[in-house]
Structure 1
Amino acid sequence: MSSRSWLLMFVIAATLTTICRKVESAYEADKIVKLPGQPEVSFQQYAGYVTVDETQKRELFYYFVEAATNSSTKPLVLWLNGGPGCSSIGAGAFSEHGPFQPNAAGVLVHNDYSWNTEANMLYLESPAGVGFSYSANTSFYNLVNDTITAKDSLAFLQRWLLKFPEYKTRDLFITGESYAGHYVPQLAQLIVESGSKISLKGIAIGNPLLEFDTDFNGEGSYYWSHSLISDHTYQLVNTMCNFSQLTRESLSSSSSFSKPCEFVAAQINAEWPHINFDSYDVTSDVCLLDGESQFGSQEQHSSLASRFHPVSSLRSKQSGVRKQEAGGKSIDLCVQGETSTYLNRKDVQEAMHAKLVGVSSWGFCSDLVNYDYYNLEIPTIGVVGSLVGSGVRALVYSGDQDSVLPFIGTRILVNRLAKEMGLNTTVPYKAWFDFDKQVGGWTQVYGENNKLSFATIRGASHMAPFSSPKRSLALFAAFVAGRPLAA
């Protein structure tokens, strides 16, 4: 071999070594050695920032948890919480289905029903201004919308995969809940339309906002069927001002309702005034401070409009009672407050390579981001249909104790979509069973190979993996494996 050939091989080898070292250094810089108060685990964790806009200096923060076993073969799952403007790390990772949950003592307790038993879990705080994510150009916060959020999330995912190249060809599932009924399908649509090589296999969205009127009008039926309002008030809702109109007016810039809606809202308020009641989990107790009761401590309902505002979903819960999930573990009703305390600790932020930019503390939902609430009225059920038509599996599920985005509207929308697409029912509506052979909920599947599925989770709230972790894990495990729920 000539000296020139040897020189060329040397240059190539040196270049590859440099590239590998750069990738490894980016990888290693984000590695979490150990979170404060964390039990010993065998899997790796990473957290840090990905720049999505160099000009505006927008940085999105992520937390990544490798699968507990066989991480090299298990799929990658991106989780997005809704709001809009609420944290996927505070809610999804530390309150719902991440590997740990903080307790009142600031110690991380292992979550037996963590979703990283089935997949490599990636949690993203999006858009910028949520959680630890930020924009150096603060004018960005003045009006954020679905289009910007989806584009930034795609930029994040593409650049994150450059940082973690071993996941470039891994099967990807995009999941989320609530307003992620917009985030998830819109991001998935961008991936499909961009011709990206990302191996998108499916989406799963829980208690999602898919179509404003159908979803929120389901609230009225749910309130009445669960004895939250009287027959008389339900009649007023159906004849004078329905729940979608109540919600629409609560989101408007006007400080008052129209006369008909004001009358209906006052009637509803009269039937459960000053009650610390969780509309997102109607059968649950709530987290109470010492000496509190469920009467008289619901500050967020001090005005009529606030009761019907759908974006006030995540409340800090400081300390108090517990409840028991049927056949399962004790549920810490105060985990959101404990998570907030934990993520605001300096040692935790240092361990996660996080920083506070433009805010004095980390919060569950952003006070910085002025989200364009007109986007709530953009229907996304058609986007779900487009994705299914392109070969992306879709699971739409509902915790059946959520009154804000109840299963009633969701089931109507999924069934209507299946009919419009000409998808035959392949699994008729029936009960499915959890790991303990108890009824986990009900399900219906449309199209071959589980193209489109609807499922309820029995006894679960708006944040189903929080209130029903075992059943939610059973549903998630079946989804990523591509199999129907156990019958």
Structure 2
Amino acid sequence: MPAALPTTLVALIYLWSVSGLPVDLSKISTDPKVTEIRSDAGMVSINSNLNSSMFYWYFPPLDDSLQNDVNTPLILWIQGGPGSSGFIGNFFELGPLNLINRTTLVRRNVTWANSYHMVFVDSPVGTGYSYTDYPEGYANNTEHDVTEQLYTFLTTFYREVKPELKEHPLFIVGESYAGHYIPALGKYLIENPIDKIPLSGVAIGDGLTFPAFQVAAKADVAYYFGLIGPDRIDEARELGQKGKKLALEGRWLEALEARKSLEKLMQEESGGINLYDIRTTDDYGWQDERLEHFLNLPEVKATLHVPVDRSFKTDEAVEAHLLEDIMMPMVHCLPPLLNAEVPVMLFEGDKDAKDGLISVEAWIPELPWDGISDYLSSERNIWRGRDPTSPQEAVYGYERHYGPLSHYSVRNAGHMVPMDQPDAAMDLIKRFIINAISINDTKSKSFLAASPEIE
């Protein structure tokens, strides 16, 4: 075990672990539009025995009139991976700041932070700035380990960091592998209401939620996108069906290998097309390069209250510990939310061949929820919104819903919908939150009144 730390250092680490410390952006930017943005950042202790902590960055609404309104929601944004940092969503998709190169922040024009409290996390432990000093600190599965870490973060955040937000509606939103994290966390919050966390809705973008059915759909996704020709489609379908069968049998690692083989075939036959966005060969490597340079600058770490001995990194151990989790289904976690009338929104870009529209539509009919037949017979609607380049409305995509379940397909977007279609993503989250609050208002108040306070 490590030697005992000096008392002053222990106190400082404790402050980092449980408190929100103001971020002075003037230390890393001279742009007045950036430096005027207020925020808090720091580390929340997840397991003191393992020295495990989770990094977060919190932003109040940029619209000052909304900051103290108890009806203004808090959005917890969770990235995927496994092992992808919340800075991806913050800096490249929907946060108030845009990292336009290795050293420069500018203010984002279309950001969810205009209207909502936002908190971005590096989850699970080991991701980005989050850290642990022992192998036992890494999560080995979503439903227990990752959920426990996120639950610890949330309860500490409400108790020690922002207790004034505990009456605000909470929406948990994320993308990609967050299609694992979000259903599991939402289910846990519904089934364990003792800490009075005001969950009002969950939203999953391009999520991996029922991998068996999603891998089986990949071959046809590739074929109809033109990534695979008729000479290889049978081989691709065989791999997809093999992956599905193995996953349904609980042979997780073998199923994962079948999925990897299918995706390798798709990339080889397409000439290296980016499966996350078939319109490009860009693999988003520029994001990792910018993040790892900028976030390891000493002045940036100091500004964000990151311990000097910690670095921002893509820790391969995070994914390695979760390999057996990847092909596990999390679809069973959604019915408890839907049955409790917690709104659930699914949304995908129509140019995503990784975990996009067609693969999600492949598993929706398998959702073990009493309302699924009514959902499947519901009408699909054209979804229109503001076109910033024209007085005419744009067709953002298509939508269908029944009860607390809604599903949006987003036109001309890949895996990262808010990055590709920021106006559509902004419209989508506003629609979802307005509808969710109207559904949950009476139920939420009675639930909160009956629940004990966070102590």
| TM category, shorter | 0.7 to 0.9
The 5 Å alignment of 1:410-429 reads 410-417=360-367, 420-421=370-371, 424-425=374-375, 428-429=379-380
**Which residue number in structure 1 is paired with residue 56 of structure 2?**
62
Q: Who is 1:430 aligned against?
A: 381
Structure 1 residues 434, 416: closer, same or farther in 2, change over 3 A?
Answer: farther
- Compute the displacement of 1:194 (Å): 1.3
Give 1:238 deviation, angstroms: 2.7
Q: What pairs up with 1:28-427 in 2 under 5 angstroms?
A: 29-34=21-26, 36-37=28-29, 39-41=31-33, 42-69=36-63, 70-73=66-69, 74-89=72-87, 91-104=88-101, 106-141=103-138, 143=140, 145-162=142-159, 163-195=161-193, 196-239=195-238, 242=241, 244=243, 252=253, 268=266, 271-272=269-270, 275-284=271-280, 286=282, 315-317=284-286, 335-355=287-307, 361-363=311-313, 365-369=314-318, 370-417=320-367, 420-421=370-371, 424-425=374-375
1:27 deviates by 5.3
Relative to structure 1, is the Cα distance of residues 375 and 270 closer, same or farther in structure 2, using a 3 angstrom cutoff?
closer
Assess, with a 3 A threshold, how the Cα gap between structure 1 residues 483 and 440 changes in structure 2: closer, same or farther: farther
Specify the SS of the correspondent of 2:348: strand
Instruction: Name the residue aligned to 1:8.
Output: none
Amino acid at match of 1:478: R
C-alpha distance after superposition, 1:464-483 (max 9, x if no partner)? 11122221111112112227
1:420 offset after TM fit, Å? 4.0
Once the two structures are TM-superposed, the CA of residue 237 in structure 1 deviates from its matched residue by 2.4
Instruction: Number of aligned residue pairs: give it.
Output: 406
Instruction: Return the TM-score normalized by structure 1.
Output: 0.75
Q: 1:481 to 1:39 in 2, by over 3 A?
A: farther
Distance 2:210 2:372 in 1: 20
Q: Is the 8 A contact 2:78 2:86 kept in 1?
A: yes
Residue identity in the other structure for 1:428: E
Q: Secondary structure at the match of 1:465?
A: helix
SS at match of 2:91: helix
Q: Pick closer, same or farther for the CA change 1:356–1:224 going to 2, 3 Å.
A: farther
Q: Which amino acid aligns with 2:333?
A: V
Q: CA, structure 1 residues 39+81, in 2 after alignment: closer, same or farther (shift >3 Å)?
A: same
1 CA distance for matches of 2:120 and 2:178? 13
Query: Which letter does structure 2 place at the counterpart of 1:51?
Result: S
Structure 2 Cα separation of the partners of residues 267 and 187 of structure 1:
34
Which shifted more, 115-124 or 240-249?
240-249
Max Rg structure: 1
Which residue type is aligned with residue 417 of structure 2? A
The answer (yes or no) to whether the contact 1:443–1:453 under 8 Å persists in 2 is: yes
The range that moved more, 244-253 or 376-385, is 244-253
Aligned partner of 2:342: which letter? V
Q: Secondary structure, in 3 states, of the residue corresponding to 1:348?
A: helix
Cα distance per residue 1:379-436 (max 9 Å; x no partner): 2222112101112100011111110112112123234438743563496112201222
Write out per-residue CA displacement over residues 297-337 of structure 1, whole angstroms, 9 at most, x where no aligned residue.
xxxxxxxxxxxxxxxxx7421xxxxxxxxxxxxxxxxx543
Q: Does structure 1 conserve the Cα–Cα contact (< 8 Å) formed by 2:41 and 2:57?
A: yes
| Structure 1 residues 139 and 471: CA distance shift in structure 2, 3 A | same
Which residue does 1:467 correspond to in 2? Answer: 420
Render the CA deviation track for 1:5-49: whole Å, top value 9, x for unaligned.
Answer: xxxxxxxxxxxxxxxxx99x9756344454612633554211101
Structure 2 CA distance, aligned partners of 1:473 and 1:265?
Answer: 31
SS at match of 2:383: strand
Structure 1 residue 142, shift from structure 2 partner: 8.2
Go from structure 1 to structure 2 and tell me whether the alpha carbon gap of 1:142 and 1:27 turns closer, same or farther (over 3 Å shift): closer
**39 and 388 in structure 1: CA distance in 2 versus 1, 3 angstrom threshold:** farther
Aligned residue type for 2:416:
M
Aligned amino acid, residue 289 of structure 2 = G
Between 100-109 and 458-467, the greater mean CA deviation after superposition: 100-109
TM-score when normalising by structure 2: 0.80
DSSP-derived class of the 1:55 partner = helix
Give the corresponding residue for 1:310: none
Structure 2 Cα separation of the partners of residues 461 and 45 of structure 1: 30
AA of the residue aligned to 1:129: G
